[in-house]
Amino acid sequence: MPRRVLGIFAAAAVALGAGAGLAADAVVLYDHADDPILKLGRVVYPGGKTLELSVGIGSAAFRRAGDPADIVYTLSDRGPNFTCGDVPAIAGVPAESLCKGVKGRLYPVPAYTPSIYGLRLKADGTFQVFDAITIKDKDGNPIDGLLNPLTVAKTEVPLDGFGNKLPYSANAIDAEGLVRLADGSWWIGEENGPSIVHVAADGRIQERIVPAGSEKDFAGANYKITGGLPAILSKRQTNRGIESMAVSPDEVFLYFMVQNPLANPDAKAYAQARNTRLFKYDRRAGRVVGEYVYELDDPQSFRLDPSKKQSDPRISEVMALGLDRLLVLERTEKTTKLHEVTLAGATNILAGKWDDAATAPSLEQTSAAAAGIAPVAKVLRFDSADHPEVPTKLEGLALLPDGALFMINDDDFGITGEKTRVVILSGDSLKTAGR
């Protein structure tokens, strides 16, 4: 059945130079084959559970115009991990038996290297991994996904899967957003620093751009560190940094967002805030040129898991539809929304009082209207509550040649039994309001 392609995405495909592509129904699911490259092994907790771990390849997705129609690149994050608070549910043993009073994060496979994966969509309804590029330091040594030795931003205590303390790692990144340029290099949105990372085609880190004033925390990294992001980003809530990356059609501008509002001035502000930040970075100039407010939706509006916690909605992906025109993936644990966003008419707050930690009340403690800020305009294009067959925790988006949309979930390396699935959206599965 030929695709009935949504106007907004078909137009984006033309703008990005896409051509003819695969045929599919409005919502198509692909399951991964039993691929050995995705197996991470077993972790046994005596008296508790046995974890069958697999590589979580769905933290981000990207496809360049001109790539084969059945090819998409995806990204893994830092590897299987969970907090001490999650120990009873995941390991099936008391938290104290592993964490011994330490409030930390456990890494059952601490040597895992964040990697970029090439996926091929197959006619039999599965996808296959055909390429894996490990992320490396400048000398070609694989990095890990452990915690950085942060003092400016807050961090946690790294533990192995059985509660033994692990060293901090200045090289480590938590890879969460992905684009690939015409020269074969990659840009990654990174959650822990938070930072954005330029990576060569072979996976070697060329430069990591961190919040100004935090450079010393990365002094031990074996690659270039630049303090090129606004200093205010060091106030990101723990585990709520940059989880997205997009690139303009001419590859001049990068776009990325903070997953949630900053903990500015504190965690209480983070928990109650709706205003998160969207950034525009000029690659030619090597600097941020735009900062905009994105207002998160009311948590009660996420129909599969409505709540009263404003910190439940978060941003997990951004994809460019054109210059300063984006598709934003806003989700909770069970509900995914896709919003079309435009920067036109929005207030650029870069380098103003809202980037000053001394400003009170902070951006996170006020509404955009009260602050006289025009946030980016949002139009809802998809709501997974209308499609119960779509998996939860979707984190990757890519545009296919005919304008249909590739989506992939993050299965958290199988620690809760989830599996990676791919969703193709087109036609009536997407809203065309206003077009």
Q: DSSP string covering 296-349, please?
A: PPPGGG-TTS--S-TTS-EEEEEEEEETTEEEEEEE-SS-EEEEEEE-TT----
Quick check: 432 pLDDT over 50?
Answer: no
Task: Name residue, tokens 């958290």.
Answer: 412
Quick check: 73 pLDDT over 50?
Answer: yes
Q: What is the pLDDT of residue 3?
A: 32
Quick check: 24 pLDDT over 70?
Answer: no
CB 183 within 8 Å of CB 323: no
Asked if residue 236 is part of any domain, the answer here is: yes
Q: What is the pLDDT of residue 378?
A: 97
Over residues 323-330, mean pLDDT: 98
CB 327 within 8 Å of CB 397: yes
Which is nearest to 70 in space by CA: 11, 139, 136, 23? 23
- What distance in Å separates the CA atoms of residue 256 and residue 229, rounded to the nearest whole number? 11
Where b means 16+ CB within 10 Å and e means fewer, 25-60 reads: ebbbebebeebeebebeebebeebbebebbbbbbbb
Q: What is the pLDDT of residue 29?
A: 83
Q: How far apart are the first and last CA of the chain?
A: 24
Which is nearest to 409 in space by CA: 299, 333, 312, 303? 333
Tokens of 185: 């290099």
**Could you give the angle at the alpha carbon of 396 between the alpha carbons of 259 and 302, nearest 5°?**
60
- Render pLDDT for 115-161 as a digit per residue (tens, 0 to 9): 999 999 988 888 999 999 999 999 999 999 999 999 999 999 999 99
Compute the residue count for the chain. 435
Asked if residue 1 is part of any domain, the answer here is: no
Mean pLDDT lowest among 123-132, 244-253, 332-341 = 123-132
**Could you give the angle at the alpha carbon of 204 between the alpha carbons of 199 and 207, nearest 5°?**
50
- What distance in Å separates the CA atoms of residue 162 and residue 45, rounded to the nearest whole number? 8
Q: In CATH, what number is assigned to the domain containing residue 148?
A: 2.130.10
Q: Which one has a higher pLDDT value, 325 or 25? A: 325
Task: Name residue, tokens 């990365």.
Answer: 218
Quick check: 16 pLDDT over 90?
Answer: no
Quick check: 431 pLDDT over 60?
Answer: no
- What distance in Å separates the CA atoms of residue 363 and residue 349, rounded to the nearest whole number? 10
Residue 291 has phi, psi (to 5 degrees) of -140, 125
Asked if residue 433 is part of any domain, the answer here is: no
- What distance in Å separates the CA atoms of residue 178 and residue 62, rounded to the nearest whole number? 6
Beta bridge partners, 189, equal: 177, 196
Which is nearest to 405 in space by CA: 336, 355, 310, 343? 336
Q: What number of other Cβ atoms are within 10 A of residue 152's Cβ?
A: 18
Quick check: 26 pLDDT over 80?
Answer: no
Q: What is the pLDDT of residue 32?
A: 74
- Render pLDDT for 358-391 as a digit per residue (tens, 0 to 9): 999 999 999 999 999 999 999 999 999 999 889 9
Q: What is the pLDDT of residue 433?
A: 34
Q: At 434, is the pLDDT very low, low, confident or very high (cuts 50, 70, 90)?
A: very low
Quick check: 46 pLDDT over 70?
Answer: yes
Which range of residues forms the domain containing residue 265?
7-426
* Cβ burial, residue 11 (10 Å; 0-12/13-18/19+): middle
Asked if residue 332 is part of any domain, the answer here is: yes
Asked if residue 2 is part of any domain, the answer here is: no
Task: Name residue, tokens 């697999």.
Answer: 54
If DSSP codes are grouped into helix, strand and coil, which group holds residue 20?
Answer: coil
Q: What is the pLDDT of residue 187?
A: 98
- Render pLDDT for 168-203 as a digit per residue (tens, 0 to 9): 999 999 999 999 999 999 999 999 999 999 999 999
Q: What is the pLDDT of residue 172?
A: 98
Asked if residue 50 is part of any domain, the answer here is: yes
CB 22 within 8 Å of CB 28: no
Q: What is the pLDDT of residue 74?
A: 98
Tokens of 174: 């938590």
Beta bridge partners, 195, equal: 190
Q: How many structural domains is the chain composed of?
A: 1
For residue 364, the Cα-to-chain-centroid distance in whole angstroms is: 21
What CA dihedral angle connects 317, 83, 129 and 253, to 10 degrees? Answer: 30
